[in-house]
């Protein structure tokens, strides 16, 4: 059995994978501006949620018919969740931490700083929206003040 947690707490180790069975890849990427500029990276996606809805009203009639009145589309929502590690094991102290990269991305490209929408590629479909929120959860060991794992959430309001 492979030793998964072979690195130090707060570090992640990237290694080549020869097998393709069981490999999981989320078919999404923030393409403009790039969020993860190169791989391997101390920042990874774990979950992508995309929600888009129409704006409609239903009306019931006395004869049992139902009428729908459509008033266009609502704003959508894209939520990207993932993990940000302190650094890759091969870095040995060099480069920004994954959490710094996530926070800098939010700081530089949030809706109050960027006039143009971000472009998110979701399985080949480009969704445009504005980065409106970030959340970070740092999980650490009781004996060590340095976080072992950082979870992040980016909130993007998508255009109809």
Residue 2 forms part of a structural domain = no
Residue 1 forms part of a structural domain = no
| DSSP conformation letters of 129-157 | EEEEEEEEEEEE-SS-SSEEEEEEEEEEE
Does pTM surpass 0.85?
A: no
Domain that holds residue 113: 11-158
> How many CB atoms are closer than 10 A to CB 15?
10
Number of domains present in the structure of the chain: 1
For 60-97, what is each residue's pLDDT tens digit? 999 999 999 999 999 999 999 988 887 666 655 556 78
Residue 48 forms part of a structural domain = yes
For residue 53, what is the domain's CATH number?
Answer: 2.40.30.200
């Amino acid at each position: 059995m492979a030793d998964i947690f072979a690195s130090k707490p707060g570090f992640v180790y990237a290694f080549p994978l020869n097998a393709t069975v069981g490999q999981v890849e989320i078919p999404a990427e923030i393409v403009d501006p790039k969020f993860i500029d190169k791989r391997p990276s101390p920042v990874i996606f774990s979950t992508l949620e995309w929600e888009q809805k129409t704006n409609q009203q239903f009306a019931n009639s006395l004869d049992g018919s139902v009428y729908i009145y459509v008033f266009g589309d609502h704003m959508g929502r894209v939520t990207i969740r993932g993990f940000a590690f302190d650094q890759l094991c091969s870095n040995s102290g060099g480069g920004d931490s994954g959490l710094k990269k996530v926070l800098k991305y939010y700081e530089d490209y949030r809706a109050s700083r960027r006039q143009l929408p971000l472009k998110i590629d979701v399985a080949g479909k480009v969704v445009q929206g504005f980065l409106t929120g970030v959340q970070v959860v740092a999980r650490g060991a009781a004996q060590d003040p340095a976080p072992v794992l950082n979870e992040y959430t980016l909130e993007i309001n998508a255009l109809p």
